Chain A
Amino acid sequence: MRQHRITAATLSAVFMGLGQIYNRQYVKGSAFAAFYAFAVYFTIANWHHAIWGITTLGETQQKLVLVGKIYKPVKGDHSIFLMIEGLIMLFIFALFAYLLVMNAIDAYRGGKLRDEGKKLNNIKQTLRYIPDKKFAHLIITIPLVFVFFFSVLPIIFSVMIAFTNYNNTHEPPGKLVDWQGFRAFKDLFSLSQWAHTFFGVFTWTMTWAVLSTFTTFFGGFAVALLVQQKGIRFKSFFRAIYMVPFAIPAFLSLLIMRNLFNAQFGPINSTLLKFGIVGPEWLSDPFWAKATIVIVNLWLGFPLSMLLIIGILTTIPRDLYEASEVDGASAFYKFRKITFPSVMFSLSPILIGQFAGNINNFNVIFLLSGGGPTNSEYQFAGHTDILITWLYSLSITNGRYNFAAVISIFLFIIIALFALFSFRRTRSFREDDLLR
């Protein structure tokens, strides 16, 4: 018995497609071989530049050269472009390598079938086999490629930035960026003003996430209970009104609220003034700014919780309540023992999701207060800045890209640990065959 499997695998490992041709799968083999030729050409053409770019991040800086009587800038290397392009190239090379291995395995399998005296699929059968047995791979490939390019790649990029000196003094194209290991991490936590800002902003981020999640949840809960009471009329009318904040586009509501709470000209303070009360500086006093943000967020967020909770309330079996009434349970007792646990059972995954979302609730803070009022003890942060808005002003406004990257890694770790811990235990994620 000849060992087709070894020969085919070796041939394919040396040159993609050869093994398949050896296995007499001519169309498949030639397609693989053509792809391989392209891949090799592509790799040879780009390898050197990519590796050079990503390791050195560029060597020639932009300079001014005297041309006639005026200085003209001569283009140097752009470190950040080199880095991203190098990164993409490395991924493409890795993909080629992976495909090469897969192709060798395919040739091995083909050879094995021949060794066992079985027939191989011809091209028609192969084309029919894929949508049938490999359907899942087929349909997730495109979404995953998109996720890869617009999420994974940028994430790796921002992790890499944390290990460079990319900041306002090293900003391409004028200057080069260099690798500097863990310097940014050390600086951020050892320079006292930065560390102070970090812990201040971090504390407020957590406080904000807890407050906003709880106020919207319990606010929505209370409203749901009020509306759904026995004996209340016009239920659907009230529900429709309470849907309004949910329906208006959030960015508009926030911009509207910002004007509503304008301390000088806004209607709230002018109304208060009529009653002889001088209203607080809603968005420019550190305490009131925080309070305003939580209140506005309650306005924005309670309808969603209310809708969810009403949905759950209708699913609680009525006989549970009836049975407890027979036993003489008070309204509060029924709430504590029946309503609340049922709601929590269904909603806890959503609550966790909302909490994680609030840690990163950029829009509310950015559009309402913009992070202000400014805090003179902080580096580029205001009293209401949460980590994510601080990141924004650090990178986009002030060019401290490497510090921003360090913070984003930190932020990511917190959320990932937290959410993985809780989501791993939700029903949808645990093995789901039991459900059917």
Chain B
Amino acid sequence: MSGYRFRKNAWLTVSYVLLILIAVFTIYPALWIVLSSFRAGTSLFSETLIPEKWTVIHYKELFEKFQFGRWYMNSLKISLTTMVLSVFFQLLTGYAFSRFRFKSRKSIMSGLFIIGLFPSFLSLTAVYVLLLNMKLLNTHTALIMVSSAGAAVGYLLVKGYFDTIPKSLEEAAIIDGASNWGVFVRILLPLSRPLVVYMAVTSFAGTFSEFIFAQTVLRTEAKQTLAVGLFNMVNTQTSTEFTVFAAGSVLVSIPVVVIFIIFQRLLVEGLTAGADKG
């Protein structure tokens, strides 16, 4: 028996070592960028991981040399609006496909699904001309429209989730005189909290990170988003603004990480719900 216990303890030790190694692997880039943002000088190169001279000047420079506050507001505005719109579109489409039977329902479902597979930026040129004709270039409206327009193609997750909610609840409500809309708002939505949170966070994070369309549609620096602004800071071989970029990264990551921590439980639930019902 002692041999068994020894083997077991040895394995546990190995497991801890592995877990710690993986933790280092995971956390190192984040740690490095945080420390870099406090390092004096502008260069990427550094002798040590921990700065020899600490400074907060880079955080100041973000707002003085760049329009960082502006970019931040732009990104927040675009991502939040897109989030609301696309979650709404996805829920509506999912509800329609899950609860109603109508002509050509299956073909619309397959059609949407296939469209969703088409790499979105292939449509860049066409979207550009469309926006030009609608006189929407260099506006945030354009970016919001482009990013939320395709939301309906993500109906599958919602439909799968709604499919598992028993119909008897709604039938009772309908007998009590609830409309279709009432069923949706009062019964299905409250039951889908993890799903809604999951979709909202992924949509927000997606738009927040979106780069190609933002760069094409928004032409002036004042309209730029964080993704484009930060990309331009380090898109040179020498990365001469590296420490400022690091400071920017920290400021961008903090709110997102906080959101993830707050919603951690719901997010995991939403994720696994989607997986289970895929």
Contact = CB atoms under 8 A, between A and B. Distances in A.
Do these two chains really belong together in a complex?
yes
A416 to B, nearest CB: 5
Contacts of B120: 151
Interface string B247-265: 0010011001100110010
B45 A255 contact: no
B139 interface: no
A139 B96 contact: yes
Contact of B100 (A136, A144, A149): A136
A257 B26 CA distance: 12
B84 to A, nearest CB: 14
B163 A416 contact: no
A131 interface: yes
Interface in B94-132: 95-96, 98-100, 102, 105, 108-110, 112-115, 117-127, 129-130
A25 B113 CA distance: 39
A150 interface: yes
B163 A350 contact: no
What's the dominant secondary structure at chain B's contact region? helix
Interface string A334-362: 00000000000011011001001000101
Contact of B123 (A144, A154, A315): A154
A275 interface: no
A22 interface: no
A401 B114 contact: no
What's the dominant secondary structure at chain A's contact region? helix
A252 B252 contact: yes
Interface residues of A, number: 100
Interface residues of B, number: 100
Contacts of B197: none
Interface in B117-165: 117-127, 129-130, 133, 145-146, 148-153, 156, 159-160, 163-164
A251 B272 contact: no
Given A245-B26, A311-B275, A151 B209 contact: no
9 contacts: A144-B152, A232-B12, A240-B261, A244-B26, A248-B30, A249-B209, A265-B44, A362-B119, A411-B119
Interface of B: 8, 12, 15-16, 18-19, 22-23, 25-27, 29-30, 32-33, 43-47, 49, 89, 92-93, 95-96, 98-100, 102, 105, 108-110, 112-115, 117-127, 129-130, 133, 145-146, 148-153, 156, 159-160, 163-164, 166-167, 179-181, 205, 208-209, 211-212, 227, 230-231, 234, 239, 242, 245, 249, 252-253, 256-257, 260-261, 264, 267-269, 271-272, 274-278
6 nearest A-B pairs in the assembled complex, by CB-CB distance: A154-B123, A311-B272, A349-B278, A136-B100, A150-B149, A154-B126
Interface of A: 80-81, 84-85, 131-132, 135-137, 139-140, 142-144, 146-147, 149-155, 157-158, 161, 223, 226-227, 229, 231-232, 238, 240-253, 255-260, 262, 264-267, 270, 299, 303-304, 307-308, 310-312, 315, 346-347, 349-350, 353, 356, 360, 362-363, 367, 388, 391-392, 395-396, 401, 404, 408, 411-412, 415-416, 419-420, 423, 426-429, 432, 435-436
